[in-house]
């Protein structure tokens, strides 16, 4: 069963790596610590300096025993072009220093780590160089940082380029913490200060960070980490952070101040087709994307956080968990799904998104919480499948929030946050909490938000009305937020914010009998244009029924003066006023009864 599961994972992940044809393998055999030049023939196993197309390999020969001690230098006397660069030491360290202003170009694979059980030590290999550049350019090549064995089996490889000024890559696949031999691998890639990476691969995904097994014992766990630099541009059509029993992370390097990252599709302008965080089932492992401390600009078509990837009924009560956090910048997706299981098994998906600080999340089509299918006798996935949206100081703009699936633990928590929903929100949201926050909803003939438990807190919350849909008779009272029982926490501490232009008058009401927060609109105003000097200014007043209509004027749209009152109006009434008496003034007609 385990081998079958792993074959499924590898097939889904599209883990196909190509070794391009190379002229020769040339091993580094330098003496150890010191400024040992690449241009010196005595530092190479073939007795010649590697050239274009050569496979350059660092093993235990010439390694150092102390982290960050330079032992090889890409000096000005070296031509600067090789085929593949491979750090394959089983212990110790290699630090490659590129001379200031220099460039090393790799025309095939960049690899760190080993595919054998010999990697039982933690190692860090370094590529560094002030104002220096490393280029990996080959549409059929790969960047691969991994050891075969996971952390439970010893061994962990890190490729650290944080001391390098520029890193540019155009490759087919980028994989960190993944092995092509067995299910789990470990690896960490720390990017340079400035990075421009394009991953063209048709593989699913093109960028993969962390893979592990799916057995319940956790013995086949893996680990993968990708840390971004100061300035980062990443182009790829598919990105996955975490598959299986793995600790996977994509984040900014905290050693850089105020970093930034831009993410787009492989062509550089389109959206990323699929961005997934926490695929599996993955038992108790952690998969997270944490852009906190930096500014992110990410556009994707589909983003799924916490997704049950394969149908494994034997993996009962096992979850796929993923977390996304950011506090600056914009993430713009078409569809965001938090907690996804489309299989009829005991597995469950858990997805968590934290929008903090000044960050903004935009979902053009929908946010989906706890999405699952009919269980067909597998009730485990009903109660545990869930999505959690936490807005703490941030802003979320969503066309709609769907949670009407076979899940019962979906939550939305707002603390000093802003949530704007264009259409509907719920049902299926178990807990909706507002603390000193602002919510914008449309008002219509049915409730725009349906939640189970509505909890408030703080000094007060605001509800804005984004649109009035299908409301033609005034005064009127409509349900905005439908809840169960009574409002918890601070109770009804909601105030009415903005109304659609032209300015309506109204208020919010806690309809305890109906268990709903209602909008009460008192009247429908009519705003008509601005007068011009000379001639007559004419407009029609259309009344819904016999009643009283006030005609008001204003020069600033905020302070209105009564001009006249019409009584027993019905249908349409035409009014004319000399504009010489009312130059540059606005007119408004408002029903009062």
The whole-model pTM stands at: 0.86
Which pLDDT does position 320 carry in this prediction? 83
Q: In whole angstroms, what is the distance from residue 428 CA to residue 446 CA?
A: 16
Burial of residue 490, with CB atoms counted within 10 A of its CB: 0-12 exposed, 13-18 middle, 19 or more buried: middle
Q: In whole angstroms, what is the distance from residue 346 CA to residue 495 CA?
A: 43
Tokens encoding 28: 């580094």
- For 60, the 3-state DSSP assignment is coil
Q: In whole angstroms, what is the distance from residue 168 CA to residue 385 CA?
A: 40
Tokens encoding 304: 């799924």
Q: What angle do CA 491, 497, 498 make, to 5 degrees?
A: 155
Label the pairing between strands 438-443 and 410-415.
Answer: unpaired
Residue 204: closest CA among 477, 11, 370 = 11
List 133's β-bridge partners, or say none.
103, 166
Q: In whole angstroms, what is the distance from residue 344 CA to residue 347 CA?
A: 8
Burial of residue 574, with CB atoms counted within 10 A of its CB: 0-12 exposed, 13-18 middle, 19 or more buried: exposed
Q: What is the 3-state secondary structure (H, E, C) of 526-578?
A: EEEEECCCCCEEEEEEEEEEEEEEEEEEECCCCCCEEEEEEEEEEEEEEEEEE
Strands (E), 259-359: 260-264, 272-280, 287-290, 295-308, 319-326, 329-341, 348-356
Which pLDDT does position 561 carry in this prediction? 80
Which pLDDT does position 153 carry in this prediction? 52
pLDDT along the chain (593 residues), means of 10: 35 44 85 94 97 95 90 96 95 95 97 70 91 97 82 73 98 86 76 98 88 59 91 97 88 97 98 93 76 97 89 63 96 96 78 97 97 62 81 98 88 98 96 98 95 97 93 85 97 94 80 95 61 52 58 70 71 57 62 57
């Amino acid at each position: 069963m385990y081998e079958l599961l792993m074959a499924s994972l590898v097939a889904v992940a599209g883990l196909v790596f190509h070794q391009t044809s190379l002229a020769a393998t040339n091993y580094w055999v330098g003496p150890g610590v010191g400024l040992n030049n690449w241009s010196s023939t005595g530092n190479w196993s073939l007795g010649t300096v590697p050239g274009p197309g050569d496979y350059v390999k660092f093993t235990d020969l010439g390694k150092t025993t102390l982290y960050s001690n330079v032992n090889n230098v890409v000096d000005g006397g070296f031509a600067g072009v090789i085929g593949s660069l491979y750090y394959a030491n089983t212990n110790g360290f290699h630090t490659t220093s590129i001379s200031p202003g220099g460039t090393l170009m790799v025309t095939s694979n960049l690899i760190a780590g080993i595919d054998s059980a010999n990697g039982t030590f933690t190692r860090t290999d370094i590529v560094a160089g002030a104002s220096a550049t490393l280029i990996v350019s080959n549409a059929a090549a790969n960047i691969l940082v991994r050891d075969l064995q996971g952390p439970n089996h010893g061994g962990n490889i890190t490729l650290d380029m944080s001391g390098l000024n520029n890193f540019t890559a155009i490759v087919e696949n980028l994989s960190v913490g993944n092995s092509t031999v067995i299910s789990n691998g470990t690896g960490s890639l720390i990017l340079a200060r400035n990075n421009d990476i394009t991953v063209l691969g048709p593989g699913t995904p093109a960028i993969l960070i962390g893979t592990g097994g799916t057995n319940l014992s956790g013995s086949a766990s893996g680990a993968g980490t990708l840390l971004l630099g100061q300035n980062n541009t990443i182009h790829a059509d598919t990105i996955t952070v975490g598959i299986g029993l793995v600790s996977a992370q994509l984040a900014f390097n905290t050693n850089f101040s105020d970093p930034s990252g831009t993410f787009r599709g492989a062509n550089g302008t389109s959206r990323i087709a699929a961005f997934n965080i926490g695929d599996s089932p993955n038992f108790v492992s952690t998969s997270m994307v944490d852009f906190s401390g930096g500014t992110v600009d990410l556009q994707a078509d589909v983003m799924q956080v916490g997704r049950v990837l394969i149908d494994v009924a034997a993996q009962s009560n096992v979850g796929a968990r993923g977390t996304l956090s950011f506090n600056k910048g914009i993430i713009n997706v078409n569809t965001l799904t938090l907690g996804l299981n489309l299989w009829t098994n005991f597995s469950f998906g858990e997805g968590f998104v934290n929008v903090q600080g000044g960050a903004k999340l935009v979902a053009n089509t929908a946010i989906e919480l706890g999405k699952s299918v009919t269980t067909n006798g597998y009730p485990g996935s009903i109660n545990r499948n869930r999505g959690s949206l936490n807005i703490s100081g941030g802003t979320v703009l969503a066309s709609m929030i769907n949670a009407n699936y076979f899940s019962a633990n979906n939550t939305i928590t707002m603390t000093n946050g802003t949530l704007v929903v264009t259409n509907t929100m719920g049902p299926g949201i178990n807990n909706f909490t507002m603390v000193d926050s602002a919510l914008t909803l449309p008002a219509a003939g049915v409730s725009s938000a349906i939640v189970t438990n509505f909890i408030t807190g703080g000094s007060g919350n605001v509800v804005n009305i984004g649109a009035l849909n299908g409301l033609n008779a005034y005064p009127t009272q409509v349900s905005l937020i439908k809840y169960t029982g009574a409002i918890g926490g601070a109770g009804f501490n909601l105030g009415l914010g903005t109304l659609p232009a032209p300015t309506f008058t109204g208020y919010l009401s806690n309809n305890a009998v109906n268990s709903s927060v209602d909008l009460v609109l008192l009247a429908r105003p009519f705003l008509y244009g601005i007068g011009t000097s000379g001639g007559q200014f004419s407009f029609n007043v259309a009344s819904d029924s016999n009643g009283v209509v006030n005609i008001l004027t204003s020069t600033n749209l905020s302070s209105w003066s009564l001009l006249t009152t019409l009584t027993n109006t019905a249908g349409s009434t035409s009014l004319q006023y000399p504009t010489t008496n009312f130059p540059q003034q606005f007119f408004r007609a408002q029903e009062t009864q």
